[in-house]
Each structure stands twice: as structure tokens, then as C-alpha cells.
Amino acid sequence: MTTASTTPRVAIVTGGADGFGAAICDRFSQEGWKVLILDLNQQKGEEKTRQDGNLRYMFGDVASRATWEQALQSVQAEFGRVDLVVNNAGITGNPTPTHLKDIAEYEKTFRVNVLPIFLSTQVIAPAMMEQGNGAFVNITSTGCTRPRPGFAFYNSSKAAVSVATKTMALEYAPKIRFNCVAPAVGQTSMLQASIGQGADSQERLRKIEESLPMRRVTQPSDIANAVWYLGTDQSSFVTGTTLEVDGGRGV
């Protein structure tokens, strides 16, 4: 059901050119929202905007305050408001034991996965408070509660996202809601890169699927539907929570 409003609702989605982010953009567009995609993948970002008139694309590093300031100026100039921020962009890094991790990879993981949560709130939350309402949905991971070896600092970066989100839910209530969605491994280009393209790739995928009680990986539409719920008035009394969309992995 499309949210009733005299003016269109507006979302900013990071990493919206591909994977979970692209499905989130499509879901909100189908409901009549206007969506600004923030992504470094200019080719895919611009391609999505050519296919859908509700989408806008902006090239930018979400770990830069200037990107967020430009994004806010863009949506306010065109639409006069911003109703939702979805912090979806993230990286996993290479699966290696901690003593073999490169310090640059450690720093990049926190810069990409955690810093945008801080920056987006600093820049966008004041605008939401001024208009009287808004919501943030931050994508975390089941790695917070069911960590996998080799990803100690990816897991801990996503735990930081979860705790920050809960804390900001308290700081900004009742005007702004903050929630998380926690996927299990998903059907994205990131998964394809991890299992490879060779003859053994399907066997690797089968083992991943068998590790999940629902016997399949997370689909982008699963995450898009969860974000739709948490990002709209359907969840108007929900804040500070993490919705696990993981096929039972966290049980």
C-alpha cells in the first residue's frame, strides 16, 4: 500500500546500484517514493535511473561528510524533504585470521561500515527533526551474534552499527526512528565473488544453503521488504530494534 501524502516521500539509499540496495530502491519506487541512490558504481547507478523515473543517482563516497551534505541539498532542492536514510553500503574484507589482517583492510572496514552511520546522522537528523519526523534503517549482519571465523573485524564493525543504532533510537525519539536489518549471506555479487565462478562454485553455494535452516540464502527482495516495513509508517511504534532476516541462522 502506498503511503498517502500530498508530497512524495523521499529516501536516500547507499549502495543502491546493486544487490540488496538495488532491491530496496525498487521496492520504495514501486510504492511511489522518490529515491536518491548514493553509490560509487556510476555505470549501474545511472542505468537504474534511466529505467525508473522515481530514482535519482549521485556519485559519492558515503564515508565523506561532503557527500551527505550534497545529498541532503539535492533532495531538499528537488523534493523539499527527506523521510528515510538506508545505510546499506558495506564491505566484508578477506576471510583471514586476525594476525594476518592488513591494517589498511581493518581501517577500511570501519570507515565504510561504521563511519557513514555517524556522518549520515550528523547531517540528516537535524533536517528530520526540523520537519518533525524521519527514520533510519541501517543494514547490519547476523555476524554480530553468530560470528564466522576470519571476519573478526567485519563482525565487530557490524556490531558497532547495531549498538549505535539502538543508542540513537533513544537519543532521537520520538521524532526519528532508528532500526537495523540483519541479513544472513545473500544472493548478491559479493556472494558470487566469495564462491567463485569455477566448477566447485555450486558445491560451495550448496554448503552455504545447507547451513541455513530455511535452506536458501537471503534474497534481495527479503531485505527490501524488511526495510520497507521498518522505514515506513507500518512500523511507527518500532525503534531501536534489529530485524533478523536470516532464514533462522541466528536461532
Query: Is 106 labeled as catalytic in the residue annotation?
Result: no
In this structure, the dihedral spanned by the alpha carbons of residues 165, 169, 172 and 174, taken in order and rounded to 10 degrees, is 150
How far apart (Å, rounded) are the C-alpha atoms in residues 193 and 40?
18
Task: Look at the block and give the residue holding cell 530494534.
Answer: 241
Q: Starting at the edge strand that comes first in sequence, how are the strands of the sheet with 10-14 ordered?
A: 55-59, 34-39, 10-14, 84-87, 134-139, 176-183, 242-245
Rounded to the nearest 10°, the torsion over CA 191, 196, 199, 200 is -60
Which residues are 87's β-sheet partners?
A: 138
Query: Catalytic residue among 57, 106, 154, 229, which?
Result: 154
Instruction: Kindly list the distances between the CA atom of residue 100 and the CA atoms of 106, 151, 194, 251, in Å, as whole numbers in the listed order.
Output: 11, 11, 18, 31
191 burial via Cβ count (<10 Å: 0-12, 13-18, 19+): middle
| Four-point Cα dihedral 118, 122, 123, 124, nearest 10 | 90
Count of beta carbons in the 10 Å neighbourhood of residue 199: 7
Catalytic residues: 154
